């Protein structure tokens, strides 16, 4: 390994984003992912041991409790992973001299806005999941002095389960679908987010970032694009959030402004429809 090579450790390497990051090839970077069986973030001593042994320059903390509805009935578990687990990773990263990059979510906002949320806007999560992820942000900032907090939204990609894969599967099983049209946000392709993260963590521009593919749509419009670009024929009908009650309330508005990316001259993510097209073309060639 040359002196210029930077070592990056990724937690949650079997998740959607973690799996994407560890499979990226980047010149001058050595990226190693750790699955839950190898690094349980809720175990402080294990976190210290694993991170110290690998001695990374950067820790990208992707491991998280992401079951939004289940979290409403399992608040202790959500906070154990997302808050206490992040504290453990922040402590271990700082002690080993590594920068910390914590992946957060649009759910830290209340979702009642009408203009894109800025990084400095007041948070106000309405779900246990959102509250636990905000507590993770606070732990990252409290227990580390060189941190990036990256909030993202509507994530999909090659690995794991997600909305795009669900829509493609349902299109093969049904000829008619209803999708909510009153929740607005920005889809995020894990490949594009992973590339951005690798650019970001090689800088010293610490702080909070909003990163999603650019542009906005509703879940209905997102589904419509999925079917158009994949050539699937299905009758799609818009419906309201009230038609599909869930234990955890969904944000009506999740659009985030990318001012920190612009201010620091970093590469913003491409338009969401272009990212979706790239993903679907890749699936066709699999």
In the chain, where the domains are located: 6-161+186-216+254-270
The total of other beta-carbon atoms located within 10 Å of residue 137's CB is 21
pLDDT score recorded for residue 284 = 46
With a CB cutoff of 8 Å and minimum separation 6, the contacts of 57 are 6, 7, 8, 98, 99
Catalytic residue among 65, 129, 156, 189: 129
pLDDT score recorded for residue 25 = 82
Check residue 271 and report its DSSP letter.
Answer: B
With a CB cutoff of 8 Å and minimum separation 6, the contacts of 210 are 117, 118, 119, 150, 151, 152, 256, 257, 258, 259, 260, 261
Q: Which tokens go with 5? A: 């090579």
pTM for the model: 0.95
List, for residues 142-163, the tens digit of each pLDDT value. Answer: 999 999 999 999 999 999 999 9
Does the annotation count 129 as an active-site position? yes
Give the largest CA-CA distance in the chain: 57
Say if domain 6-161+186-216+254-270 classifies as CATH 3.40.50.720: yes
CA distance 31 to 77: 29
- Note down pLDDT in tens along the chain; length 286 residues: 334 569 999 999 999 999 999 999 888 899 999 999 999 999 999 999 999 999 999 999 999 999 999 999 999 999 999 999 999 999 999 999 999 999 999 999 999 999 999 999 999 999 999 999 999 999 999 999 999 999 999 999 999 999 999 999 999 999 899 999 999 999 999 999 999 999 999 999 999 999 999 999 999 999 999 999 999 989 999 999 999 899 999 999 999 999 999 999 999 999 999 999 999 998 644 3
Angle of helix 163-173 relative to helix 272-285, nearest 10 degrees? 60
CA distance 256 to 214: 9
pLDDT score recorded for residue 283 = 61
């Amino acid at each position: 390994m040359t002196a210029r090579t930077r070592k990056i450790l990724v937690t949650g390497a079997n998740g959607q984003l973690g799996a994407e990051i560890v499979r990226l090839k980047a010149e001058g970077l050595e990226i190693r992912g750790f699955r839950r069986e190898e690094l349980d973030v809720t175990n402080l001593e294990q976190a210290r041991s694993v991170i110290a042994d690998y001695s990374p320059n950067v820790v990208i903390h992707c491991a998280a409790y992401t079951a939004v509805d289940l979290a409403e009935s399992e608040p202790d578990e959500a906070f154990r992973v997302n808050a206490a687990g992040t504290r453990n990773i922040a402590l271990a990263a700082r002690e080993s001299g590594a920068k910390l990059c914590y992946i957060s979510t649009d759910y830290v906002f209340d979702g009642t806005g009408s203009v894109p949320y800025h990084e400095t806007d007041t948070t106000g999560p309405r779900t246990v999941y959102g509250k636990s992820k905000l507590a993770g942000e606070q732990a990252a900032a409290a227990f580390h002095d060189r941190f990036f907090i990256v909030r993202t939204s509507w994530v999909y990609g090659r690995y794991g389960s997600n909305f795009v894969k669900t829509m493609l599967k349902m299109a093969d099983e049904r000829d008619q679908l209803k999708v909510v049209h009153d929740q607005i946000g920005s889809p995020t392709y894990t490949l594009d987010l992973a590339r951005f993260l690798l650019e970001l963590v090689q800088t010293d521009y610490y702080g909070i970032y909003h990163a999603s593919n650019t542009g906005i749509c509703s879940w209905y419009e997102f589904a419509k694009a999925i079917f158009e670009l994949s050539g699937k024929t299905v009758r799609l009908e818009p419906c309201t959030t009230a038609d599909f009650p869930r234990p955890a309330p969904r944000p009506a508005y999740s659009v985030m402004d990318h001012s920190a990316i612009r201010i620091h001259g970093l590469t913003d993510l491409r338009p969401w429809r272009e990212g979706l097209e790239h993903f679907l073309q890749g699936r066709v060639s699999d």
